[in-house]
Each structure stands twice: as structure tokens, then as C-alpha cells.
Chains A and B, each alone.
Chain A
């Protein structure tokens, strides 16, 4: 059967070469820029560009803004955040003269060079840019996420060690996790060993992004900022919509792409660059003579098929050339999505901090069988024993008698606590875990996993008194 369903697909927006070379806005000057199907002269282009930005900022002001707000700008130093810094500063200085909203503006930069083992730090370069503006600067390194202070209580000194025994026929997503003291290696070494132990670039990119996001949010909290500006532009958002979908992150997608959302409660995330495509930003920066900092990525100089993120970017940008409505249509689709009400915000992945649905694990095992009943009963008992342990083991004190299950019989010391992690990770993070052997996750993950375990334990105690929709269904 032909898979094409019944709806017409109209893409008559195939690229047409501009015939009229007059700016469509002032209708007098010669056009020097083509954005989608519209030709502009330089001044009109800049006017339209700044106008789009202002419009988004106006929206935030009317919706969520508080008086005397402290805000933070996430600045990678790349084109989009660089342009955003300038545009925001203009608005801030304008507002300060009118005695309005923002009382303190922080700029936060995260140096990622340890990922690539580069000596030079990007912090100085970025700081020089920020000095031109009237903002406070904080420069961090990505490995700082392993420091105790980037946790909710700002002193949680433990890391989470996760290991997968590949020799065992693992159930779809079962990992062993122990809580350890956060002292054995330097933060940089911990980060580097984390990345070394992830065999796949897609997963690596995912880890790095969520470490960065957590770092940004924790930093904003520490500084008392109630709003975090991120520089995602329309091209980037379109790419993210497709790549997040492809990584099974549909339920948290809106949080990562919406122009504004308050999922993180005390820190609102705003994306004022969401309506500009990367071409516009490149041109804007070029005309204003802004320098950007080149930030290598995990897929720099790699082929297109090296990661999902990279493949998606090439796909979207390539399509956009021939069908210039691609990016805007995808971004528009994304903007109509919302975080489901049915998602309990307690179900927050310990690693990526995103909400997830509960039933995932069961569902995956039903549609992707890795065992057959006879093999479960005839092969060595280790599999089933592991499963049993995971069901029965108390997260802290372990009382499992099966001798085959080595992880469970180890005597538990205070700094070597087994912890049930499988129920505290979202589907996409569990998929990523399959690409690892043994890694150390930062304290914030350990802290969150512990918190959720406590909650699950509590829940177990009162379970028989809870009225659950899921129970009704079964």
C-alpha cells in the first residue's frame, strides 16, 4: 500500500530568483539582500530585523515580566547569542532611562573547550565582548557542573556512577547506579571520562547540551535571576524540533523551543531570537562588524551522518535553500505545541531535567522484544535475578540473596550506595545510556535521583491508599 495519505502537499514556495531588485520596504533603494522571497536594502533590512526582536520583547513584558527583574543572558559567543547581547543591551539601556523592569543583567558564558581538550579558554574572548556593554559577566567551564555548588542545595557532594554490563543480556534499559563521593578525580577529568565512555556522538551531544542547560539554570538561580535569555534562532529551532522528535523527546520538546516558558518555575526561559533565520543574523552581525567566537562542536569537521543533530541541521538547511519556507513552517508547527497537562511535573528526568511519561519502559518492552519466553527460563539465571533485584532492592540497604547478582551482594558502605536510577530517567536519556559502559554523572543528577527515590519510596508506603488513573485502566 502506498504510504501517502490523503492530504495534498503544497510546496509551490520553491525558490524563485528575484527579478525586481528594488527593496520591497522603501521601494526606492536597490536591494542588496534576499530573505526568503523578499528583497531589502541594508537600512530596511536592519530596521525589520530589530523590529522583529522588539516585538518579541514586548510580548514578554506583557505576559510574565516582573518589576525589578534580574535577568541572565546565555552567551556562547556564536552569531545568534552575540546579536542577542547587542539587541538586549539596547533595550536595557533604553529601559533604564525610563526606570523600568530589569535591575541587574548578567551575562553567562560556558567555556566548552575541555570537551576538545583545547588549552585556550573562550572566557577571555567573550568577556572582552561583554565589557563593551553595561552588564555583569560570569564565565564558567562546562566541567563546573561537577562542582558541588551547582546543585539545588549548593553543596551536594556526591556523583552518580552508572555502569552497564554489556556481557549480560541486558533488559532494554536496566543500569546499575551507585552514589559516590565527588572527590576521586578533578572535575575536568570527570567530564572527559564521561565523554570518553560514550560511544556515540548523538548521545555525547545530548549529554553536553543538558549539562550546559543545567549549568545555566543553576547559575541563574544562584544569581537570583528570574529570566534566562537563550539565543536560539528560527533555523536552530527548526533543527531542534526535528532532531528532538527524532530522539524521542516529543514530550519535552515545547520546553526546548518555545519563545517563552516557565517550566523551570523560578527561571523563565525566553528566546527573543526565535523569529530570525541564521542568514539574517549572519548579515546583521556582518554589517555591524560584530566578531563572533568560533566554538568547535563535537561534529565539527565530521561527516553529515555523524550525529542526529548534525544530520538534521544539514537536512533542514539544505531544504531551506530550495524551499525557503521550510524553516518558518517547522518553527510555526513547533510553536503550536504545548507541554501535556497529563505529565506530572514530579516526573522529571534526573539528567536532562525534562518531564517524561511514566509508561515508557513497559511500552518499549512490549514492542521491542529482546527475549523469548523459553530463553528467559533456560538461560542462566542472571537475567531474571537482576530483574528481581531491581524490583526488590531497597535503594540504600541492599538485601538480595541471589549469588549471581554481583552488584547487589556487595556490602554497602556509606559512600557506595546503590540507587535505583531506571525510574528517574526519561526515555531519551535511557536510550543514550545504552551507548555507555561506565560513567560518572554530576552531583545534580545524583541529588535529583536521590530525591526521586525518596519520593518513590514514600509512594510505595502509601500506595494502597492512592487512587490512580492507571489502576482504573487495568
Chain B
């Protein structure tokens, strides 16, 4: 029996849509996939005409599809934004070096300007060296903290207004669960925000907030997009692995669960009197921080002093244990925003 697409009722269905379990043909799938992202962009008023937008591009499926779809929607609906590719070279041999090749091909294919920022030039350490120093237990912490800053710094270099990342619905649902499970109230209350611009100067948003990972893979597959599909060789810790498996099982039971988790996350409200960290700037490098020093500076200090555990755990507790950070040792270049001398004055 030939199955017909339930959306157009005409063409032959070739996929079962993970999000709705509807049978759909290729064209209808493309249409709903792209339009849902467009709706998200419009409803959240993500872009203004004339915005310069950097796509955080890793060469993986999410950011490759993001670059492709944003370029397409920008032309189709005339957002009037200017797109850039921004890549971070973490320095992971056999992983990032290969995926960067993909990004360079994407640059040609989509005809977008590309900027690469490397951990080595910014921090003096690459992930291979860091893993050698700290082992495989907390390496993702280093990488995550360093990447976040590196993206902001890259964005400043590109003089863009806005960074978009390929975080998809699965990633956000996973983050909601992780934040509940580790009691991170501050992040729990903001991790479902599609766009963060309250506490930092460079807007950062997630147009794939409601887009299923599986559908991104499908889209890339049918569109034959050129992406790099190897998992990071320094894979995340086992606790997160359990959460990931749980999420996949939930999706198996009820596909809407992923959206429902995000939906729940949006509804969470904190009791009055729950203490949240106050955002300030790092005394050393000027980057946004809720502590005296930003996490990257503390982690870096730990690396440089041969105390890799310095930045793992509660910063103040660790600094007490290992001694404070001497003043005036600017190891990461001062963080400067294009509109001001330092971020602090704007934020």
C-alpha cells in the first residue's frame, strides 16, 4: 500500500515525522520544518532588519542546517539580516580539525564570511592539552566555559549584534532536566529563554528551540547537506548520558514530551526570596560573571598553576582552599564590546 502524505493528501509519504508521528512527503516535511522555524523567529521577534548575525558553526548537523535554513528564510521572508559563520577551534585532534574542514566547505557552499577563533590563541591551551592535564572527568566543563567566552569574543571581532546557536529542542529539554537534577535554580529559570540579552551585551538565541533533533538529521539527510557527524571524542560524563537516554525513552513513549519539557521549563517560576547570583563583570578580563572572577579565568588560573580542580565546584570555596588569584594577571585579553570600552558599562 502506498502511503499518502497526510499534510497534502497527494504525494507519497516518505517519512514519519518524529515530532507529530504524521506521515509526510518530502516537500511537506521541508515546508513544515522551515515554517515552524520561521514562526519561532517571527513570534519571538528574534531579528531586526539590518542585524548582523553570527551563526555558531561547528560543522555538525545542527549548525549546518541552521546556516542553510537561516540563509533560505532570510531570502524567502526578507528578514534583511547579514549572516556570518563563527567557528571555535577547541583543538581536538581527529574531531575539530576535521569538522572545521566541513565549516570551510560550508563557507563556500553558502557563500558566507567565516571567522575562526581558537582556544590556543585565546587561552594558550587547547582541549587536547587540557584533557592531558585534567583527564576525562571535568573536561566538558572547561570546554563549555571556554567556548561560551570564545563565541562572544569572536562575535566582537566580527562586529555582529547577535549570535545564533544550533541548540535544538532535545538539547534544551535535556538542559531543563539537568538543571532540575543538579539544583541549578538560576539556570533553570532562564534556560528555556529563546533569546538571552538581559545579562550580556551580545544577544544570543536559539532558533531551533522547538525543532527536534531527529528532524534536523532528516532534513540534512534529504537535503544532502554537507555536515560532519562524528561525536566528540571527549564525550560527556555519564550522568548526562543517563539523562540523554531518559529523554530518548520519553520521546519513544510520547513524542511531544520534548516540547512539553520546554513548555514546563517556560512556566517555572521561582519563589520570592530564592537567592540568585548577581551578574557583574570579571575583575580580571571584563567578561560577564556572577563572581569576582569569571569561570574561564578561574579555570585558566587552575591550569596555569597546575591546580586543574580550582575551577571545578564552588569557586569561592576552591579559592579559599588553594589561595586567591593574584591581581593584575590578565591572561585572557580584555573583553571589549564594539560599542563601549568594557562590557560592564552597558550591562
Contact = CB atoms under 8 A, between A and B. Distances in A.
A touches B in complex, CB < 8 A: yes
- Grouping DSSP codes into helix (H, G, I), strand (E, B) and loop, the B interface class, with mixed when no group exceeds half, is helix
A185 interface: no
Contacts of A368: 19-20, 36, 210, 259
B249 interface: yes
Contact of B165 (A1, A6, A312, A363): A1
Interface string B12-40: 00000001101000001001100110011
Nearest to A369: B32
A4 B167 CA distance: 9
Contacts of A251: 264, 267
Contacts of B210: 367-368
B9 A379 contact: yes
A246 B260 contact: yes
A4 B144 contact: yes
Interface stretch (A70-78, A268-276, A333-341): A333-341
B257 A246 contact: yes
Interface stretch (A52-60, A153-161, A278-286, A370-378): A370-378
B32 to A, nearest CB: 4
Contact of A9 (B168, B185, B240, B264): B240
Contacts of A364: 259
Contacts of A319: 239, 242
Given A5-B148, A8-B312, A369-B35, A336 B271 contact: yes
A97 interface: no
Nearest to B265: A250
Nearest to A3: B171
A96 interface: no
Contacts of B269: 337-341
A3 B267 contact: no
A245 B177 contact: yes
Contacts of A312: 246
A368 B40 CA distance: 10
A305 B265 contact: no
B7 interface: yes
Contacts of A135: none
A375 B270 contact: no
B36 A369 contact: yes
B274 interface: yes
A51 interface: no
B281 interface: no
A332 B183 contact: yes
A363 B210 CA distance: 11
B7 A372 contact: yes
Interface stretch (A106-114, A211-219, A323-331): A323-331
Given A245-B264, A250-B266, A333-B180, A6 B145 contact: yes
Contacts of B239: 9, 11, 319, 323
A8 B311 contact: yes
Given A245-B265, A308-B257, A1 B167 contact: yes
A25 interface: no
A35 interface: no
A87 to B, nearest CB: 26
B264 A250 contact: yes
Interface string B126-157: 00000000000010110111011000000000
A360 to B, nearest CB: 8
Contacts of A305: 249, 252-253
A367 B270 contact: no
A244 interface: yes
Contacts of A308: 250, 253-254, 257
- Residue among A8, A200, A242 facing the most chain B CB atoms (10 A cut-off): A8
20 contacts: A1-B57, A2-B232, A3-B175, A4-B140, A7-B184, A10-B312, A10-B313, A11-B182, A245-B260, A245-B265, A246-B260, A248-B264, A304-B249, A311-B246, A332-B183, A336-B270, A338-B272, A368-B36, A375-B7, A375-B8
Given A247-B260, A248-B263, A250-B267, 4 more contacts: A7-B145, A245-B180, A338-B269, A363-B43
What are the 9 closest A-B residue pairs judged by CB atoms, nearest first?
A: A250-B264, A248-B260, A250-B267, A251-B267, A3-B171, A8-B141, A367-B210, A369-B32, A245-B264
